A and B are shown apart, each in its own frame.
Chain A
Amino acid sequence: MNFELLLFIVFALVAAVSSLMMITRKNAVISAVFLVLNFFALAGLYLLLNAQFIAVVQIIVYAGAIMVLFLFVLMLLNTGKEEAILHGKKPIKYFAIFIAAVVFLQVAYLLVFGSGSFTSNPDIEASLSSGTVETIGREIYTKYIIPFEAAGFLLLAATIGALILAKKKFE
C-alpha cells in the first residue's frame, strides 16, 4: 500500500464520515463544524489531485469565509436544537433516505460503468501545470473574462440583495 493511497483513504473517510455526521446532528452548530471538517478533507483531496490553487481557495473561501458566515448566523439566531431528526411523524423522511440511497447507487454505478468512456489519459506534466495559480489565472483573465465579469455582477447583486433583505428596518 503506497503513501498516496493511504492519504486518499484517510481524507476520503474523513470527508464521508463528516458529511454523514453533518446531516445527522441535532445541533446545527455541530453540523456546521462537521461541514468545516469536510471542507478541510476536500482540500486535502484537491492537493492529492495536484490542484494547489483550488485547495488553498477551498480553505480560505469555504472553510474560512462561507462557514464563518453560517456559524455567525447560527449564533445570531440561536435557533436551538432541532427535534429528533428521524422521529418525526413523517414517513416521508424514510422515503427520502431510500431515494438518496437509490440516487447514490445509480450515480456510482453509472460513473464507474461509464468511466471507460471518460477520455482519461493521465499526463503528469499537464496535470501538475494545470493546477497552478499561473495557469488558472491566465485562463480566467483571457478566455473566461466574460464569466469573470458576470461573477462580479453576481457578487454585486448578492451584496445589494443581502443588504435589502437583512437590513434592520427603522420604523
Chain B
Amino acid sequence: MNSIPIEYYLILSAFMFSIGVTGVLIRRNAIVVFMSIELMLNSANLTLVAFSSYLGNPIGQVFVFFVMTVAAAEAAVGLAIIIAIFRNKLTVNIDEINIFKW
C-alpha cells in the first residue's frame, strides 16, 4: 500500500513531541503552554494513526477519537482556569503567578 516506511511517520511524531515538550518548558505564556500540550497530544495521535493504518486494525483510530474528546475538554477547562487567574492577577505569565514557589 504505502511506499512510505512507517519510520518516517514515527520520526516526524517524535520531532513534534519533543517540540511540544520544549514549548512547555521554555514558554511563559500559559496559553502557549497549553498549545504546546496540544502539540504533544497530536504527535501521539499521529503515532496511533500510523500504527493503526500499518497494522490494519481500527483500535488506534478509535483511540484518537477519544483523545480528541479529551483534548477538547482539557482545553476548555484549562482556558477557563487561565481566565479565572487573569481576572485576579491581570497576567497569564506563569512566572508572575507565584504565591508559591514554582
Q: Do chains A and B touch in the complex (CB under 8 A)?
A: yes
Q: What is the CB-to-nearest-CB distance from A95 to chain B, in angstroms, rounded to a whole number? A: 9
* A28–B68 CA distance with the chains assembled, in angstroms: 22
Question: Count the A residues whose beta carbon is within 8 Å of the partner chain — how many?
Answer: 87
In the assembled complex, A117 has its CB within 8 A of some CB on chain B: no
* A19–B27 CA distance with the chains assembled, in angstroms: 14
* Residue pair B16, A19 in contact (C-beta under 8 Å): yes
Q: What is the CB-to-nearest-CB distance from B97 to chain A, in angstroms, rounded to a whole number? A: 13
Point out the residues of chain A lying under 8 angstroms from B4, CB to CB.
Answer: 4-5, 8, 48
* A4–B4 CA distance with the chains assembled, in angstroms: 8
* A97–B91 CA distance with the chains assembled, in angstroms: 25
* Residue pair A39, B46 in contact (C-beta under 8 Å): no
- The chain B residue with its CB closest to the CB of A23 is B23
Q: For A28, give its contact among B29, B51, B52, B65 (CB under 8 Å).
A: B29
* Residue pair B53, A49 in contact (C-beta under 8 Å): yes
Q: For A112, give its contact among B7, B26, B61, B72 (CB under 8 Å).
A: B7
Point out the residues of chain B lying under 8 angstroms from A74, CB to CB.
Answer: 31
* Residue pair B54, A127 in contact (C-beta under 8 Å): yes
Q: Please report whether the interface of chain B is mostly helix, strand, loop or mixed according to DSSP.
A: helix
Question: Count the B residues whose beta carbon is within 8 Å of the partner chain — how many?
Answer: 72
Q: Contact string, B1-22, partner A, CB cutoff 8 A, digits 1/0?
A: 1111011111110111111111
Interface residues of A (CB under 8 A from B): 2, 4-5, 8, 12, 15-16, 19-20, 22-23, 28, 31-32, 35, 38-39, 42, 45-46, 48-51, 53-54, 57-58, 61-62, 65-66, 69-70, 73-74, 76-77, 79, 82, 85-86, 88, 93, 96-97, 99-101, 103-104, 107-108, 111-112, 115, 118-128, 130-131, 135-136, 139-140, 144, 147, 151, 154-155, 157-159, 161-166
The 9 closest A-B pairs by CB, nearest first: A126-B56, A96-B25, A158-B73, A104-B18, A23-B23, A100-B22, A130-B58, A162-B80, A166-B80
Q: List 27 A-B contacts (CB under 8 A).
A: A16-B12, A16-B15, A28-B32, A48-B2, A54-B45, A62-B71, A66-B75, A70-B75, A73-B79, A82-B93, A85-B26, A100-B19, A103-B18, A112-B7, A119-B55, A122-B56, A124-B1, A126-B57, A127-B53, A127-B54, A131-B61, A139-B62, A144-B62, A144-B66, A154-B69, A162-B76, A166-B79
